[in-house]
Amino acid sequence: MEKDIIKPKTLPGFMELLPDEQILFNEMKQKIQNSYEKFGFLPLDTPIIESADILLAKAGGETEKQIYRFTKGENDLALRFDLTVPLAKYVTEYYQNLSFPFRRYQIGKVYRGEKAQRGRFREFYQCDIDIIGDGELNIINDAELPSVIYNTFKELGFDKFTICINNRKLLNGLFESCNLKNQSADILRAIDKIDKIGKESVVNEIKKLGIEEDKINLIMKFISINTTVEDTIEELQKLNIQNETFSNGLLELQELVKYIKIFGVPEGNFKIDLTIARGLDYYTGTVYETFLDEYRFLGSVCSGGRYDNLAEYYTDKKLPGVGISIGLSRLFFQLTYNNIIKPNKKSTADVLVISMIEDLSKPAEIATILRNNGINTQIYVEKAKIKKQFKYANSLEVPYVIVLGEDEIKNGTVSLKNMETGEQCELTIDEVVSKFWQENEKNQAINME
Amino acid sequence: MEKDIIKPKTLPGFMELLPDEQILFNEMKQKIQNSYEKFGFLPLDTPIIESADILLAKAGGETEKQIYRFTKGENDLALRFDLTVPLAKYVTEYYQNLSFPFRRYQIGKVYRGEKAQRGRFREFYQCDIDIIGDGELNIINDAELPSVIYNTFKELGFDKFTICINNRKLLNGLFESCNLKNQSADILRAIDKIDKIGKESVVNEIKKLGIEEDKINLIMKFISINTTVEDTIEELQKLNIQNETFSNGLLELQELVKYIKIFGVPEGNFKIDLTIARGLDYYTGTVYETFLDEYRFLGSVCSGGRYDNLAEYYTDKKLPGVGISIGLSRLFFQLTYNNIIKPNKKSTADVLVISMIEDLSKPAEIATILRNNGINTQIYVEKAKIKKQFKYANSLEVPYVIVLGEDEIKNGTVSLKNMETGEQCELTIDEVVSKFWQENEKNQAINME
């Protein structure tokens, strides 16, 4: 019977990794998870499919266009496009069962039907943490998150990165004091481009909005403050802006900075950046962006902020929160694409057992002993010459190979070959186990340093 | 401004857990993953959305009806309904980059728009492993998988479970020898009901198919064999069925049984069950089902088998494989619903820092020291009386609470309270760290036993 062969193809915009890349990706994901749990965040795993009216309660514009929405039977469904809306749903739905402040992390895939282009994914992992208060939430929570960011990126192997911090109340207060509240969105849009178009062009754009020169000067003076954390606060005080929102923002920023340091973030890893606004209508206080100093062109690798009301579309309860998110798929793509990191492991096995004998009882027994002793072990059981078996070991870059031949079986030993150094020795299986345990202890000691 | 409040509701058939349940669920998932990696399986993470023509190349009937299928732009898309079809796609697409035998695990969500009913989910986790050969695949691989099942369920905390094994070639050979090949599907359907309707009714159903009595007797004699592994093989030989398929099946079964034991599965944890068929057109050799002995009513908790050709719809290459799958969402639901397991942890933090002082510098410093020493730590920073803070600690069932008051700060100590025993002692922070490390070492030693 002739069959139609369908050429298999993964959809564009959907990340699919080879095993060595997947191992690295999973390692990063695990490190992020461990770091989040170190701060006592609770795991959450909400459905990928939700009712469209729930997901879109707040959305509009771009989100609405990008969303994967469809019907099944009579249900109007959609795939989640972030992890914040599902959190709002969750907190409202299970409010009675949760303890506040509710601290949760969620690491999962979200979906946006964006134009496919390099590094833009339609399915991608977000790694979120949020702290949700019931009615109110102390500013010290805002200071704890930079510590989570710091720990997480240290765990991921980075030293040189900067957590940039701002407070939306400063910007809002500044605009209020200038009677520019109604134009604030337009002004922020112009400021947001400063990295791309430069200060002068920003001034020109703001001018076009018909804003008086003295006000423009004040705005530019504000966003031009770029100095140490202490001096920034001093400079902000010197601006002498008489506005309650501004004053509150300044007090929050001072408190924030004090506690960020106590929470162990070195001064070299955070700064105040008064140009950061992050979205127009969501964040209400502290905002964060994080940049890898040597790879600033990657954009922010971890962002977030404080919001007044997580679930206003689902409940009358006031649930303020503060959160951050790492876009892991995008980050992973950028880091590997730019050769900043690369896969260094092609196998989950520590050792591969191969042999030159017909009956595989002994190799199977050896593999089982190793596994029972906690050593990840693979056994090659196909009929193949020893050369082909070694080729397989090499292709998987297994750290160790155990070879079993007639001699070893007679001697009650195995040949253990270190595939990196080429070193080979004949050992009893007990000696092999001890060797792996010793190495394991050594590695643990290194990790604890 | 009056807002429309939308009552948030998770869709029926979609599992969503409270934090304590989620912690337990994640623990099980992690144990399964560790067990799969102990055998050297490689991780994989394919997209949840695929081209509909790829996913449905083989499907039909029930699958086609249940699938979530929709268009986005011009694309005809569908959500994966298992992890095997994506594997077939993956292996074909990346054939050149993979080493065979290719051993992969995938733990991920799949989607089936089934009728929602208790314990049936529309979104659920499958935890799959498969070994794919290029052209051929030794039967010893089939013997390794029961060892994976055994290890995994032991890790999950079970002792009393039975891995039931059969070989489709025995059934097929039996039918061939009786000239009943064309009716085999109908006969298998009848046999499949034996657990529910009993032996006699099965005989009646087969009779209705117009099959001669001596053939029915042979079939019933075959499926009635229910004894030790060794005796089963002897009884099968005694049937004296002259058919090549049957003989091959018998040889495979013998080899399988020999190696299952060598791979360390105790005789009490596996048996031959000649009534197991598992689907009609997919599996071609070994088949597995796993039952928890004390909770047989849960049905099979881990199933799978050998297939001749993984990707016949995508490639002319012959890619035989053998695999198993654990339906984790369903298993988790059944185990918790029937009180076989229950959540035992409500927090990821080992310790919660609370205090009775205005300035939280010291508590934040203490929390940071603990975290830097690998101890999962949460700090309570809201303004609240100590009673409310303890209530929070109790609601999260945090194992330890550190209390900081004026006295402790003066003494350079903290009060550490064991929340289970109520024991409380005043220690320096170094002593607290040592205590946690010692406990950690003790736990590790217990885990290694």
B155: closest chain A residue by CA: A372
Confidence of residue B420 (pLDDT cuts 50, 70, 90): very high
State the pLDDT at residue A192: 81
Going by pLDDT thresholds of 50, 70 and 90, the confidence category of residue B1 is very low
Of B10, B49, B92, the CB nearest to A123: B49
The alpha carbon of residue A362 is apart from the nearest alpha carbon of chain B, in Å, by: 8
- Counting every residue, how long is chain B? 449
Question: pLDDT at position A378, please?
Answer: 98
* All residues at 6 or more sequence positions from A292 whose CB lies less than 8 Å from its CB, including other chains: A158, A160, A161, A298, A301
Asked if pLDDT for residue A341 goes beyond 90, the answer is yes
Contacts of B8 in chain A (CB under 8 A): 54, 88-90, 92-93, 311, 314-315
* Model pLDDT for residues A232-264, shown as the tens digit of each residue: 999 999 999 999 999 999 999 999 999 999 999
DSSP tally for chain A: helices H, then strands E: 17, 16
CB contact under 8 A, A72 and B72: no
Chain A residues with CB inside 8 Å of B88's CB? Answer: 8
Report B:194-253 residues touching A (Cβ under 8 A). Answer: none
A174 confidence band (pLDDT: 50, 70, 90): very high
Partner A contacted by B292 (CB < 8 A): no
Chain A stretch 152-181, residues whose beta carbon is closer than 8 A to a beta carbon of chain B = none
The mean pLDDT of chain A is 93
Domains of chain B in start order, with CATH, are: 19-46+83-337 (3.30.930.10), 351-448 (3.40.50.800)
Measuring CA to CA, which residue among B59, B47, B53, B30 is closest to residue B87? B47
Residue B61 has a pLDDT of: 67
Distance CA A29, CA A108 (A): 10
pLDDT in tens, A105-143: 999 999 999 887 888 899 999 999 999 999 999 999 999
On average, the pLDDT of chain B sits at 93
A contact test, residue of B29, B38, B281, B319 with most A CBs within 10 A: B38
pLDDT of residue A1: 42
Gap from A212 CA to chain B (nearest CA, Å): 32
Residues on chain B touching A6 (C-beta within 8 angstroms): 53-54, 57, 313-314
Name which residue leads in pLDDT, B185 or A83.
A83
In whole angstroms, give the CA distance from residue B345 to residue A56: 34
Task: Inform me whether the pLDDT recorded for B123 exceeds 60.
Answer: yes
Residue B96 has pLDDT above 70, yes or no: yes
**B316 touching chain A per CB within 8 A:** yes
Among A37, A312, A349, whose Cβ lies nearest the Cβ of B348? A37
- Type of residue found at A278: R
Does A104 sit within 8 Å of B19, measured CB to CB? yes
Query: Which chain A residues are closer than 8 Å to B262 by Cβ?
Result: 361, 364-365, 368
Cβ of A16 and B137 within 8 Å? no
Say if residues B15 and B329 touch (Cβ distance below 8 Å).
yes
B1 vs B387, which has greater pLDDT?
Answer: B387
Tell me which chain A residue has its CA closest to the CA of residue B48: A123
B446 or A192: which leads in pLDDT:
A192
Is the pLDDT reported for residue B408 higher than 60?
Answer: yes
Q: How confident is the model at residue B60 (pLDDT cuts 50, 70, 90)?
A: low
Q: Which residues of B touch A313 (CB under 8 A)?
A: 3-6
pLDDT of residue A441: 84
* Closest CA in chain B for residue A88: B8
Closest alpha carbon within chain A to B449: A373
Average pLDDT over residues B288-309: 96
To the nearest whole Å, the CA of A201 is away from the closest chain B CA by 37
Rounded to an integer, the average pLDDT of A269-294 is 89
Which of the four pLDDT bands, split at 50, 70 and 90, describes residue A3? low
Separation CA B240–CA B382 (nearest Å): 79
Put simply, whether A133 touches B (Cβ < 8 Å) is yes
Q: B423 Cβ partners below 8 Å, 6+ apart?
A: B417
Which B residues 361-400 touch A at CB under 8 Å? Answer: 361, 364-365, 367-368, 371-372, 374-383, 392, 395-396
Residue B355's H or E segment, with its range, is: strand B351-355
Residues 63-122 of B with CB under 8 A from A: 68, 70-73, 75, 77, 88-90, 92-94, 97-99, 101, 103-104, 109, 111, 113, 122
Q: Which of A23, A259, A314 sits opposite B364 (nearest CB)?
A: A259
CB pairs under 8 A between A and B: 271
Q: Write down the pLDDT at residue A105.
A: 98
Please give the average per-residue pLDDT across A347-354, as a whole number. 97
Q: What is the mean pLDDT of residues B375-399?
A: 96
Whether residue B325 has pLDDT greater than 50? yes
CB contact under 8 A, A364 and B259: yes
B57 contacts on A by Cβ (under 8 Å):
6
Distance CA B218, CA A263 (A): 76
The residue of chain B with its CA nearest to that of A316 is B5
**In this complex, is the C-beta atom of A7 within 8 Å of any C-beta atom belonging to chain B?**
yes
What is the DSSP secondary-structure string of B404-420? Answer: E-HHHHHHT-EEEEETT
Distances (CA, A) of B359 to B381, B382, B384, B401: 10, 12, 13, 19
Which of A72, A137, A379 minimises the CB distance to B113?
A72
How far, in Å, CA of B149 to CA of A301, rounded?
40
* B residues 419..448 contacting A (CB < 8 A): 448
pLDDT in tens, A153-172: 999 999 999 999 999 999 99
Residues from chain B that touch A349, judged by Cβ atoms under 8 A, are: 39-40
Quote the DSSP letter at residue B89: H
pLDDT beyond 50 at B288: yes
Q: What is the ipTM of this complex?
A: 0.95
Which helix (H) or strand (E) covers residue B425, if one does? Answer: strand B424-427
Contact in structure between B314 and A6 (CB atoms under 8 Å): yes
**Among the ranges given (A51-60, A264-273, B292-301, B357-366), the one the predictor scored with the smallest mean pLDDT:** A51-60
- Write out pLDDT tens, residues A42-101: 999 999 999 999 998 876 667 788 999 999 988 999 999 999 999 999 999 999 999 999
pLDDT at A280 over 90: no
Q: Is A349 on the interface with B (CB under 8 A)?
A: yes
The pLDDT score that the predictor gives to residue B143 is 98
Partner residue opposite B18 with nearest CB, options A22, A97, A314: A97
Q: Please state the rounded mean pLDDT for residues B28-36.
A: 98
H/E stretch holding B202 reads helix B199-208
Q: Is the pLDDT score of B290 beyond 50?
A: yes
- Give the predicted TM-score (pTM) of the model: 0.96
Provide the CA A362 distance to its chain's centre, in angstroms: 45
Predicted confidence at residue A277, as pLDDT, reads 78
Q: How far apart are CA A434 and CA A436, in angstroms?
A: 5
Give me the pLDDT at residue A449, please: 52
Q: What six digits make up the tokens of B370?
A: 């603990």
Contact B10 A89 (CB under 8 A): yes
**Interface mutation target, options B49, B67, B109, chain A, most CBs of A under 10 Å:** B49
Model confidence at B394: pLDDT above 80: yes
B103 CA to chain A: closest CA distance, Å? 10
B368: nearest CB among A25, A262, A348 = A262
Q: What is the pLDDT of residue B3?
A: 60
